[in-house]
Amino acid sequence: MTVGRRPLRECVALASLLLLAGCAVGPDFARPKPPEADRYTNQPLPASTVPADGQAQHFSPEAAIAADWWRLFGSSQINALADEAMANNPSLQAAQATLRQSQETLRAGYGIFYPQLDASAGAGRQKFSGASFGQGDTSRIFNLFTLGATVSYALDVFGGERRAVEALSAQVDFQRYATVGTYLTLSGNIVNTAIARAAYAAQIDATEQLIGLQREQVKITQAQVTAGTAAYAGLLAVQSQLASTEATLPPLRQRFDQTDHLLAALTGHTPADRALPLVALQDLTLPADLPVSVPSELVRQRPDVLASEAQLHNASANIGVATAAMFPRFTLSGSFGQTSNTSNTLLDSSSSVWNLGANVTAPLFHGGTLWHQRKAALEAYQAALANYRQSVLAGFQQVADTLRALEHDAESVAAQARALEAAADALRLTQANYRAGLASYLQVLTADAQYHQASIAYLQARAQRLQDTTALFLALGGGWWNAEQEILGAR
The pLDDT tens digits of the residues spanning 122-153 come to 988 888 776 666 666 677 888 888 999 999 99
Least confident of 222-236, 385-399, 410-424: 222-236
Tell me the CATH number for domain 21-116+158-327+369-488: 1.20.1600.10
Highest mean pLDDT among 224-228, 280-284, 401-405: 401-405
**What per-residue confidence (pLDDT) applies to 125?**
87
Contact 319, 392 (CB under 8 A): no
Q: What residue segments make up the domains of the chain, in order of their start? A: 21-116+158-327+369-488
- Dihedral, CA of residue 177, residue 179, residue 180 and residue 184, to nearest 10: 140
Contact 439, 405 (CB under 8 A): no
**What per-residue confidence (pLDDT) applies to 7?**
47
Instruction: State the Cα–Cα distance between residues 274 and 265, nearest whole angstrom.
Output: 9
3-class DSSP state of 342: coil
Across residues 300-322, what is the average pLDDT? Answer: 97
Q: What is the 3-state secondary structure (H, E, C) of 386-420?
A: HHHHHHHHHHHHHHHHHHHHHHHHHHHHHHHHHHH
Type of residue numbered 209:
Q
Q: Please state the length of the chain.
A: 491
Question: Which residues lie across from 458 on neighbouring strands?
Answer: none
**What per-residue confidence (pLDDT) applies to 490?**
60
**What per-residue confidence (pLDDT) applies to 233?**
87
Type of residue numbered 405:
A
Q: For residue 40, give the nearest of 286, 287, 288, 299 by alpha carbon.
A: 299
Per-residue pLDDT band at 229 (split at 50, 70, 90): confident
Instruction: State the Cα–Cα distance between residues 306 and 393, nearest whole angstrom.
Output: 13
Q: What is the 3-state secondary structure (H, E, C) of 44-85?
A: CCCCECCCECCECCEEECCCCCCCCHHHHHCCHHHHHHHHHH
Instruction: State the Cα–Cα distance between residues 442 and 218, nearest whole angstrom.
Output: 9
pTM over 0.85? The answer is yes
Contact 489, 69 (CB under 8 A): no
